[in-house]
Amino acid sequence: MLHSVRNPRFGIRAKLTATVTLPMAAIIVAAVCAFAAVETRHARSDAERAAEAMARALNQDLERIHLTADQQRSADLVDRLASFSDVMRVTAYDERHRVFFNYAAAGVESPPPISPDTASPNAASPDTASPDTAAPEHRGNSIVLSKPITSASRSLGTVRVELSTIAQNRRLDRVFLILGGGAALALLTSLAVGIFIQRLVARPIVRLAATMDAVTAADAYEYDVRAAVNSNDEVGRLAQAFNCMLVRIQASDEALRAANRDLEAKVAQRTADLTASLASLQREVEEHAKTQAERERLYRELVDASRQAGMAEVATGVLHNVGNVLNSVNVSVNLLLDQCQRSRVGGVEKLWRVLDENRGNLREFLTSDAKGKMTVDYLKALADALRGERDGMLAELDRLGDCVEHIKEVVATQQNYGRACSVREAVPLADLVEDALKINAMALERHHVTIEREFADVPPIVTERHRVLQILVNLLSNAKYATSPVTDRERRICLRIGETDGSATIEVADNGIGISADDMPKVFTHGFTTRPGGHGFGLHTSALAAKELGGSLRVASAGLGHGATFTLQVPLVKPLSNPDRHAPPPQRVAEEYLVAACAPA
């Protein structure tokens, strides 16, 4: 019911009528149903009481008939029962469920007697089933009641009484007919009241809605329409407020139309002014095009100058990186020269001369002469010494070959800057650090620098091997020079490998002279150096290389005399879409910086 009242498809008239009619109809139907149920229950109760009274009235007569078998009394009882129009059938059973009295009104079937041999409550016919049951049984237009026949508190059998309920049912039908007519009359009355209320309440609202439709029906809103005000109730005040709103809207509409007319006039005037200034603007555009062409010519010249400056910076970086490795090459060459000058190969010549002098009696010399007997031991000692010299030279030559190979890679890397990107490979960080130590090994030993290693278990990185190696060689070289002035403590360089936030870190920490707070912001600036004879290229190019690899290079120092720590950070796994994958070399970085600073707007 509530759903139908709230349905937006229904108008306010239908809603008001339903609001008044439906509750009243529900109340009337509920009252009629309740009254009908009460009347039905009362009629059934009256029938049960009548059957109960009839059974009690027959108890004494049936007791005598059962005890004396008096047929005359039985016939008198039948005549008396025939005088009652509502008595349909009376049947009396003894203790063995045998019929000893039976009365049936005209047209009513009499139940068959129950023989003593087959007497059983379960074997009885439907009309004689359960003769001992005391609860009344309603059968359409009749009621059946079974009561025990008693004599001096002793049960003699059962009497079964069946009374007609046709009269009660007809009376109920008349009551239901009267209730139905009253309910219909009440429903019609409620419908009439609902229609009256909806006309009284909804008609002004419907008229107001029609006025709204009239305002919005045309393409241009008609604000001069007014709603009729016929009362001072809430609907009347609503109509008055709606009329006031229309007045204000009409005034605003007229003001807006006037403003539109003024705006159109101003637009026309402005269009004329713009048309007049168009020729002047066109001349300015032509002059600007000439100026732009001149700026582009100057820009191309600036690009050429910046490219030459970038090429000079690359050449300086190559020379600096190669110079770091050449120091190790020079140390290795000097070591080889020293080993050659101190070689024991002269002992072979001495042994040859002794053997040559005793060429004719070598057997006697080797077995009898005191020097000859020492020849074998001398040869063994000489062989061991020469083997040691050979191994040392081979190791130094191997280190020298690594340095030369690194020089070749540095030069090749710089040459490849203008072409395709360098090859990336998976490289263990510990191997890179050890390779950098090998290149600087001789210089570190010469300066008596102790190397400490703190390597964590870090996965290999995918990067350009020789660019990382170039950075590490430069950092180790700077750390070695930073520890050279230290004389009051042991010179130490600590190398650490770790992992932070998905990146691998390599720290080069020394206990050298340190960096002042004023110099910290300038450490990676091109040309800045605090070492006598330095050029200020190494840390600058190393920082650029670290950035091109997708990482960074940082420095930390507690001040002068407290050493410094340089931290190289590179990604563990290089992303496929890394914007620095094809990062420009230092040459192009310098060019782009100069060009961006002076590019035309």
Decide: 439 and 403 in contact? Cβ < 8 Å: yes
- For residue 219, the SS3 value is coil
Would 229 be classed as within a structural domain? no
| pTM exceeding 0.85 | no
DSSP per-residue letters across 528-544: ---STT--S-HHHHHHH
Whole-angstrom distance, CA of residue 163 vs CA of residue 144: 7
Say whether 477 sits in a helix, a strand or coil.
Answer: helix
Lowest mean pLDDT segment, chosen from 161-175, 363-377, 445-459: 363-377
**Dist. CA 266–CA 273, nearest whole Å:** 11
Is 351 domain-assigned?
no
Average pLDDT of the residues of the chain: 77
Closest by alpha carbon to 508, among 467, 549, 555?
555
Burial 561-577, CB ≥16 within 10 A → b, else e = eebbbbbbbbbbebeee
Q: Residue 81 carries which side chain, given as an amino acid letter?
A: L
User: Strands 87-94 and 552-556, how do they pair?
Assistant: unpaired
What percentage of the chain carries pLDDT values higher than 90?
13
Highest mean pLDDT among 215-219, 231-235, 255-259, 390-394: 255-259
Q: Which two tokens stand for residue 372?
A: 């000859």
pLDDT tens-place string over residues 256-282: 888 988 899 999 888 888 888 888 888
12-26, 150-164, 248-262: range with lowest mean pLDDT: 12-26
Using CA atoms, how far residue 258 sits from 175, 210, 251, 384, in Å, is 79, 30, 11, 117
Type of residue found at 450 = T
CATH code, domain carrying 559: 3.30.565.10
CA dihedral 393, 394, 399, 400 (to 10 degrees): 70
Q: Which pLDDT band holds residue 536 (cuts at 50, 70, 90)?
A: confident
* Of the listed ranges 188-197, 218-227, 409-418, 585-594, the one predicted with least confidence: 585-594
pLDDT score, position 575: 44
* Rounded Cα–Cα distance for residues 212 and 435 (Å): 91
Q: In 3D, which of 413, 399, 528 has the Cα closest to residue 468?
A: 413
Query: For 97, left (φ over 0), alpha (ψ -120 to 50), or beta?
Result: left
Question: Is the residue at 271 inside a domain?
Answer: no
Q: Which of 309, 276, 325, 302 is nearest to 435 (CA)?
A: 325
pLDDT in tens, 93-114: 888 888 888 888 876 665 554 4
Q: Are 110 and 76 in contact (CB under 8 A)?
A: no
Q: Give the range among 24-38, 290-304, 474-488, 537-551 with minimum mean pLDDT.
A: 290-304
Residue 127 gets which letter from DSSP?
T
Task: Kindly state whether residue 174 falls inside one of the protein's structural domains.
Answer: yes
For the segment 195-218, the average pLDDT, to the nearest whole number, is: 72
Torsion sign across C-alpha atoms 9, 14, 20, 26: negative
Encoded amino acid at 21, one letter = T
Containing domain of residue 549, as a range?
422-581
Residue after which a domain boundary falls, among 164, 184, 204: 184
The whole-number pLDDT of residue 412 equals: 65
Calculated CA dihedral for residues 151, 153, 156, 162, nearest 10 degrees:
90
Lowest mean pLDDT among 190-199, 348-357, 419-428, 516-525: 419-428
Does 34 reside within a domain? yes
Tell whether 85 is covered by a domain.
yes
Name 331's Cβ contacts closer than 8 Å, sequence gap at least 6.
442, 443, 446
Sign of CA pseudo-dihedral 46, 48, 51, 53: negative
pLDDT band at 219 (very low <50, low <70, confident <90, very high): low
Tell me which of 109 and 454 has the higher pLDDT. 454
DSSP-assigned beta bridge partners for residue 450 = 492
Q: How many CB atoms lie within 10 A of CB 40?
A: 15
Strands (E), 431-557: 450-455, 461-463, 492-500, 503-510, 552-556
C-alpha torsion angle, residues 342, 346, 348, 354 (rounded to 10): -140
CATH number of the domain bearing residue 121:
3.30.450.20
Q: Residue 415: inside a domain, yes or no?
A: no
Which helix (H) or strand (E) segment holds residue 59: the answer is: helix 12-68
Tallying the residues shown for the chain, one arrives at 601
Which of 134, 160, 184 is where one domain is finished?
184
If one counts every other C-beta atom within 10 angstroms of the C-beta of residue 281, the result is 10
Number of structural domains found in the chain: 2
- Taking the alpha carbons of 100, 105, 106, 112 in that order, is the dihedral positive or negative? negative
Cβ–Cβ < 8 Å for 591, 303: yes
- Which of residues 184, 202, 226 is at a domain's end? 184
At 596 the pLDDT is 35
pLDDT of residue 51: 80
Rounded to whole angstroms, how far apart are CA atoms 167 and 308? 129
Mean pLDDT of 397-403: 78
pLDDT tier, 9 (very low <50, low <70, confident <90, very high otherwise): low
The pLDDT of residue 493? 95
pLDDT per position as a tens digit, 115-148: 333 333 433 344 444 455 557 888 778 888 888 8
Q: What is the pLDDT of residues 147-195, one digit of tens each?
A: 888 877 778 888 888 888 887 788 888 888 888 888 888 888 888 887 7
Residue 452 is assigned to a structural domain of this protein:
yes
Q: Which residue has the higher pLDDT, 99 or 392?
A: 99
